Structure 1
């Protein structure tokens, strides 16, 4: 399985919207990124990123709420490995599988398990039940067999179900791809009422032409507009030179680069706390005491910022409550954080033998 997992690292795509994060995987022949509909729901475009794919915004082409499937456009010049769909491979109980995912902000995950049920049904849709651990960020990732074939799309878990996960069999994906591609259309959706595919030239004033049910195509989704504190935070980031559309990482979470430092901005709505955490580098293997002494001295000298160590990571942070945040105050605080983050990571690496963070 090790070779299989290594190969999939280059076809797994991270997906983020202002509302959620998830996983997708690349298929070369249709040149599409496959994911779950609930990952892209409510968005006309999403943020994608991969090991061989630079971070960028991409258009949502197809949404299927019934099967929880979605297709996202891949760049025309994408040079990612080809993976096979195991549409003709028999899946049996006891087969070994790997559930693969890579949500933003978390490590690439590949969890092994076995198929425990091949005929689980939910709303007349068949699912593969397995015990390869899933989490919400793995949604839309592939379920892979020992031959390296995609046999399912990771879809949902049972809460408190002791690693009981469910994946949509690849046959549903294959049939949907064939139906979608045969039309030659670009942006479409499946009607949740009658199951017919609806496209931009066939939709009738927001209704399915076949059954009259209300339907919205991905291209008709409203563009996201932040409000309240989220809007203030995005104004601060934008005025600091960052592209906020490329910074969004789900609800009330943003990630930006300042020089060599990676900085996460988080708004905890229930208690009103806003934090900025700059992940600078990792602790060295030797002379740790010197590093701690340096960090403590800087904590004593700095105003508004503080160092901490989380695991092996050295983090420079600021915190402010939303009732004190406005554009002027926020600009001063965050620009100070951005400046110091890019300053301190170089000192820690060059003078104290700390190590640069590896991209996950």
Structure 2
């Protein structure tokens, strides 16, 4: 950490953090959460606890003349047994809305995960400093600065230092877009936090993103719906389906009423906001084959992480869910509800990534898109949702 007296240390408060639902005070700083404590208390699932504290879409934002910026953090890096090492999480520095530099944080905690038996071990580690200097386009002019935190690493924010005073960012009067989805919305295999598809779509659409994409955890949980109900928003979207198949969580009989209940809860807090329901993008292994999804042990033995479907297509007759079954149900539900809700809309996820795209941009692990595919999805979502004729056009 820097101790040079010429630096100005600014306490990190809620005024300087965008995209978080709640901030937990730690011994040395703040830990952003994307679910409130009351919601976290209602679910003991370790996967959800890990992913909701990964700050996808969360950024430190301020206005300054500084030509050098330092951010102290304590990341938690994941290591999967038997899999290749993961790259360090990336911090994206934006100056006046443009990506100016990227950085990484060494050190931090290490979370060891064995996906074969679900066991974990947390090894504490030291904090780290991410530095951005004049060579990164930090001129001496007054400017708006955003540091997007890694979307896939729990990140405790400890201190912000600059060589000039900072103040909270100006209100840009942009509509707030509240989005919920699975690991694909969380960011999956994208290489940096601003490269995930919701961040790209928000930038193209001129919206302020609040991203409730939770890896493995878009499961129609009532506490997530209540969080969305209680979060201020002008535009809302929910992308549902793949995690329900991954976990083989419910049958068709339960799915429909659960979707209705989820939408009913959101509407309690946002009765007239544009609400877009998005079905799953193409995922060939689960289009007509139900879950659960399993780690491919043969590929893991060769150092590759891939997934496979383990269900039997014949079981769909008994109500097991596939992606095609989920799309049919979501289209039906939205069609029926929209007769009384003119601001409710449906988007088939295959319009974002479908069969024509798969040969050129296959899913590397059979489930998650890479950075190039995130860009494709983000651009298409912006065109379909934010452009002329889209459900988000001119709203907020």
More strand by share: 1
Q: TM tier, shorter chain?
A: under 0.3
Higher RCO (CA 8 Å, separation ≥ 6 residues): 2
Tell me which structure has the larger Cα radius of gyration.
1
TM-score by length of 1: 0.26
TM-score by length of 2: 0.25
